[in-house]
Amino acid sequence: MDNNDIELKKAKIRERYKGNDSADVDVIPAIPQPKLFDVNNQQRVAAYARVSTIDINQTTSYELQKNHYTDLIQKHEGWTFVGMYADEGISGTSLNHRDSFVRMIEDCKAGKIDLIVTKSVSRFARNTLDCLEYVRELKALKNPVGIFFETENIYTLDSRSEMALSFLATMAQEESHIKSDIMNASLEMRFRRGILLTPALLGYDRDEDGNLIINEEEAQTVKLIFFMYLYGNTCQQIADILTEYGRTTKKGNTKWSAGSVLQILQNERHCGDVLTRKTWTPNYLDHKSKKNRHNLEQHRWKNQHEPIISRDDFIAVQRLISNARYGNKGILPKLKVIKEGILKGYVVINPRWAGFSAEDYIKASKSAYDSFDNEDTIEVEAQTGDFDLRKFEVARSQFFDLLNRITVTFTNKNVTFSTECVRKFNNNQFVEMLINPTKKLFAIRPCTKECRTAVKWGKITKDMIYAKTLSAAAYIKTIYTIFDWKPSYKYRINGIKHQKDDESLIIFDMTETEVFISQNINENDVSEQFPDDVQPFTKGRTKDILAFPCEWAESFGDNYYRQAQARELAILNKKWRSQEEGEELETDDSLNVTGKDDLRNNIESLKNYMGQEGNANE
């Protein structure tokens, strides 16, 4: 294009932008939009006020807001006062329980309100998303409803208001976040120094300093609850007795439930201790509290006040509660450890015991050994004429996809043995499981249905036994803790069957695990999901990713001579005695629990006392 063409185009553009003769244009004027405070602007106006707490000092702020906006709206020409919508004692970070706020929004949708007046963005909502959502929703109504924030001088029907409103709402939300962090930090400092919270508790009153002092009358109820539960009564049975005798809860109710009894049984304050941070609030916006499962640091302060129940009785009750969830009704089950034979150091697993920690199992296992035990070392010497196999490795069976592998698979809920595994015990449907935390081994041995710790691991169909998935809720978390496993992963371990005469068992080396990791995560983040010592073995659109320890990548398997000295084989040179019964673990810190006779006498005495009190009140 030459210069003449360029100049010609420029001339046309200039001519076009000179405009047209205004005489050829009819202007259709817009209807004048009323300004917020136009005296001729007829609007139905509501006011919204909120204070965060029910503290009496906040009542002044609450009443001042109500009076201020009532006067403001009634005095403004053209405004009709619809009403005051006020929430008292409600947090602004969530819309939960803000009944007046919700009612006001519904009235706006029903066409009853044209304008809302409120003090500030933080009074309306400290949640940016909620604030903007409601502003936009009200603006989009057939008859748009505006909000006037007095402090910030923002009117939401003004087209220029949203950016400023977004900024201010974000600042208000962050302010709430900072206050939440400050409060949590303050609580943490208090708890570390033993400045503890003392909410109302049955059995105690509080003195002028906030200390718990035993209320003798209420303490009788607490004692009866603990003694009856230790004696074998259920929470519902206890609740029925308390209702019958007219005993009152801390709130003065005479109707008891199993849940209210359970809460008392689980409160450590009754034995003189105080546990901090039983619950926590993950999201400061919705204020939903959750049980603190080691999410935040806790402190257990002992001997903080006079106990109503002994600490040993309290601990015994907690174990009973844990075990009762899985059908165990025994008074106080004890761990059994095998002291002799090839299963020395193994602890019997009871499928209905949940009251023992990983430390309990480890301590029980170690009690079977002394400082001179050295069962892992076998000297293997090459004889004259033997092949030198020092540079050879025995390939790991995990690298081969064999259908007939003997395996056990653990998830955070279940335990499953392979069909090949359950067929190794001649269609025996019941086995006993044992764990050796010291040697990192897991074993199973056949047993009868009558065995107290028996589990049914298989079902027979047409004379063939098939594996049965075992629910392991009572003890699986303990196993995961012992072997330092991740709860979200699935673990599979190969086993070896050992037979001598009529004795047989299967042993699993828990250090040789395959790991299955769910692919229900963003593929771009997969590498961040694996622990340092595990790498994926397979990838793809399968349900799980198979992974293995990183050190396996450096070899096909164990050195031949190391394989010949495998840990689970080392103990087999000893006397078998694979059916050796476990011995109940005796420890120096055994619980001194109130005996059956004393429990019965105490219960009768308390019932007589309460019966007399009930007659006296009639």
Do 253 and 357 fall within a single domain?
Answer: no
C-beta neighbour count of 39 within 10 angstroms: 11
Confidence of residue 34 (pLDDT cuts 50, 70, 90): very low
Residue that wins the pLDDT comparison between 616 and 297: 297
Which of 110, 34, 47 has its CA nearest to residue 73? 47
Distance between CA atoms of residues 583 and 208, nearest Å: 52
Question: Do 306 and 242 have their domain in common?
Answer: yes
Separation between Cα atoms, residue 78 and residue 51, nearest integer Å: 29
pLDDT value of position 25 = 64
Contact indicator for 70, 79 with CB cutoff of 8 Å? no
- How far is it, in rounded angstroms, from Cα 581 to Cα 579? 6
Residue 565 has pLDDT above 50, yes or no: no
**One domain for residues 544 and 452:** yes
Q: Kindly tell me if the per-residue pLDDT of 325 is higher than 80.
A: no
Q: Lowest-confidence range among 61-75, 121-135, 408-422, 563-577? A: 563-577
Answer yes or no: is 28 within a domain: no
Query: Residue 414 has which token pair?
Result: 């279940």
Contacts of residue 165, defined as CB under 8 A and 6 or more positions apart, other chains included, come to 121, 131, 132, 135, 149, 152, 154, 156
How far apart are alpha carbons 327 and 333 in whole angstroms?
12
Q: Please indicate, yes or no, whether residues 464 and 524 belong to a single structural domain of this protein.
A: yes
140 with 247, same domain: the answer is no
CATH number of the domain residue 147 falls in = 3.40.50.1390
- Six-digit token pair at 327? 């059908």
- Model confidence at 64: pLDDT above 80: no
pLDDT given at position 293: 61
Residue 375, Cβ density class (10 Å: 0-12 exposed, 13-18 middle, ≥19 buried): middle
**Which residues form the domain of 230?**
204-324
> What is residue 574's predicted lDDT score, i.e. its pLDDT?
54
What pairing do the DSSP bridges indicate for beta strands 407-410 and 557-559? unpaired
The verdict on 318 and 432 lying in the same domain is no
When mean pLDDT is compared across 57-66, 287-296, 527-536, the lowest value belongs to 527-536
Q: Do 484 and 401 fall within a single domain?
A: yes
> What pLDDT sits at residue 29?
66
Token pair listed for 31: 């209807």
Residues 579 and 452 in one domain: yes
- Spatial CA neighbour of 436 closest among 508, 494, 503: 508
Q: Indicate if 497 and 440 belong to the same structural domain.
A: yes
Name the most confidently modeled range: 114-128, 175-189, 377-391. 114-128
Structurally, the chain folds into a number of domains equal to 3
Contact criterion met (CB below 8 Å) for 86 and 48:
yes
| pLDDT in the model for residue 527 | 44
Assess whether pLDDT exceeds 70 at residue 569.
no
The 10s digit of each residue's pLDDT in 494-548 is: 998 988 888 889 999 998 888 888 766 544 444 445 555 555 555 555 567 777 6
In a domain, 209, yes or no: yes
State the pLDDT at residue 479.
92
The stretch 344-353 carries a mean pLDDT of 86
Instruction: Quickly list H helices, 403-550.
Output: 419-422, 476-482, 526-529
Neighbours of 548 (CB within 10 A): 20
pLDDT at 162: 67
Q: Are residues 359 and 221 in the same domain?
A: no
Q: Which residues contact 109 (CB under 8 A, 6 or more apart)?
A: 141
108-117, 135-144, 385-394, 458-467, range with the lowest pLDDT: 385-394
Query: How many angstroms separate the first and last alpha carbons of the chain?
Result: 112
Residue 225 lies in a domain: yes
- In this predicted structure, the answer to whether residue 125 has a pLDDT above a threshold of 90 is no
Q: Is residue 338's pLDDT more than 50? A: yes
The pLDDT of residue 14 is above 90: no
Axis-axis angle for helices 99-109, 128-139 (nearest 10): 20
Q: How far apart are CA 421 and CA 437, in angstroms?
A: 22
Token digits for 89? 């004692």
User: What local confidence, expressed as pLDDT, does residue 525 receive?
Assistant: 47
Same domain, 425 and 467: yes
* pLDDT over 70 percentage in the chain: 62
**CB 278, CB 555: distance < 8 Å:** no
pLDDT tens digits, one per residue of 414-439? 999 999 999 999 888 999 999 999 99
**Is 608 part of a structural domain of the chain?**
no
Q: Show the tokens assigned to 336.
A: 């059994």
pLDDT at 268 over 80: yes
Q: What is the mean pLDDT of the chain?
A: 75
Identify the CA nearest to 546 among candidates 467, 605, 610, 491: 491
Residue 417 lies in a domain: yes
Beta bridge partners of 518: 544
What is the domain-level CATH number for residue 212? Answer: 3.90.1750.20
Confidence of residue 227 (pLDDT cuts 50, 70, 90): very high
Give residues with Cβ within 8 angstroms of 93, minimum separation 6. Answer: 126, 127, 173, 176, 284, 285, 286, 287
238-242, 392-396, 398-402, 525-529 — most confident range: 238-242
- Percent of the chain at pLDDT > 90 equals 19
Residue 217 and residue 165 share a domain: no
Beta partners for 430?
A: 456
Give every CB contact of residue 534 below 8 A, 6+ residues apart in sequence.
515, 547, 548, 549, 550
Question: Does residue 179 or residue 272 have the better pLDDT?
Answer: 272
| Higher pLDDT pick, 113 / 267 | 113
Task: Using the predicted structure, report yes or no on whether residue 167 has a pLDDT greater than 90.
Answer: no
